[in-house]
Amino acid sequence: MKPAPRSSVPPYATGWRLFWRAVRGRAYPRWVALQRERDWTVLDIVLPIMSVAAYVFVYRALRAPEAYIGFVILGGAMTAFWLNVLWGMATQLFWEKQGGNLPLYIIAPAPLMAVLLGMALGGMANSTVRALAIVALGSWLFGVKFQVTAWAMLAVVFVLTLAALYGLGMVSASLFLLLGRAALHVTALAQEPVYLLSGFYFPVRALPFWASAAASLLPLTLGLDAMRQLTFPEGRAQGLWPVGWEVAALALMSVLFVGLAYGALHYMEWRARRDARLTERMD
C-alpha cells in the first residue's frame, strides 16, 4: 500500500509567523500598485512640486535666506507621508467597512494590528518614493544643496517620525470607524491645520510660543524640525527644540501611539466578535 502523498498546503501559521504573513500579505498589493499605477505616482509628485514652487517664489520675492527654500522642499516631501496617513490609514477601516471587507478582517485569525501594519508599510514605500522624487526634483529645479551633519541621527529621526506618525494613523483608524461618515469630515478638517502647525512651509518657531508648544504634540512637527536642523546649517538657529529632546519625544510618541493603537484595535476586534456585529458605534 502506497503512503498517502504529503499535502503541498503549508500548515496554518500562528503567533508571530501569522502576524508577519498578514503584514506581508497586506503590504504586497500596495507595493504592486506602485509599479502599476504610475500615472498616480506622477500626479503625486507633480502637484506637490507646484505647491512647493509657489512658496519658493514667495520667499525669493521677499529675499529670504536660501535655507528657507530647502525648508520648503523638505516640508513638501513630508506631505506625502502625512497625506498617506490621513487618507490611507486613518480612514482605512471605514472604507473597508463600506466595501464589505471589514467583517472578513474581524473573523480572520490574523490580528487587525497586522493588517494595518501591512497597509502602513505598503503605503510608506509608496510615500518614500514620492518624497525622494520631490526632494530630488525640487533640489534640481531650485538649486538647493543639503548639508547633512549626522546621517545616522537623521536616519533615526526619520524612522521614529514615521513610527509615531503611522502609530497615530492606526489609532485614528479605529476612532474614525466609530465616527462613520463623520470621519470624512474630520479627515478633511485635520488636513490644513496640520499643514500650519507642523510648519511644512516655514519654521514652526515663527508661530507664537503657545502655538508652537501645542504643535510639538504632533510627530510631524518634531520630526520635520529635527530633520531641518540636521540638514541645513541655518536649521539649528530656526529650530524649535534641541535635536536630542525631539528625538526623545519622538521615541516616546512612537511607543505611546503604537501601544494605543494595539489597545484600541484589540478592543474593537473583541467587541465585534463578542457581539457578532459591527456597527458605527460598536454598541
pLDDT tier at 282, thresholds 50, 70, 90:
very low
Q: Would you state the pLDDT for residue 277?
A: 61
pLDDT tier at 2, thresholds 50, 70, 90:
low
Residue 266 domain-assigned? yes
Q: Would you state the pLDDT for residue 9?
A: 44
Mean pLDDT in residue range 230-259 = 90
Provide the number of structural domains found in the chain. Answer: 1
Better pLDDT: 2 or 246: 246
Residue 3 domain-assigned? no
Residue 268 domain-assigned? yes
Residue 83 domain-assigned? yes
Residue 1 domain-assigned? no
Mean pLDDT in residue range 123-133 = 84
> What range defines the domain where residue 217 resides?
15-275
Cα distance from N-terminal residue to C-terminal residue, the chain: 58
Residue 146 domain-assigned? yes
Residues contacting residue 256 through CB under 8 Å, at least 6 positions apart: 167
User: pLDDT digit string (tens) for 142-175?
Assistant: 888 888 888 999 999 999 999 999 888 888 887 7
Better pLDDT: 227 or 91: 227
Which cell numbers hold the place of 73? Answer: 522642499
Q: 59 vs 55, 69, 132, 158, 202, CA distance in Å? A: 6, 7, 22, 26, 10
Which cell numbers hold the place of 246? Answer: 525631539
Q: Would you state the pLDDT for residue 126?
A: 80
Residue 105 domain-assigned? yes
Q: Would you state the pLDDT for residue 250?
A: 95
Residue-wise burial string across 232-245, b where 16 or more C-beta atoms lie within 10 A, e elsewhere: bebbeebbbbebee
User: pLDDT digit string (tens) for 198-236?
Assistant: 888 888 888 888 888 888 888 999 999 999 999 988 888
What is the three-class DSSP state of 224? helix
Q: Would you state the pLDDT for residue 3?
A: 54
Residue 78 domain-assigned? yes
pTM to 2 decimal places: 0.82
Mean pLDDT in residue range 185-204 = 82
Q: Would you state the pLDDT for residue 11?
A: 55
Q: Is the pLDDT of residue 5 over 70?
A: no
Mean pLDDT in residue range 36-59 = 79
Q: Would you state the pLDDT for residue 160?
A: 94
Residues contacting residue 76 through CB under 8 Å, at least 6 positions apart: 48, 49, 51, 52, 134, 138, 200, 201
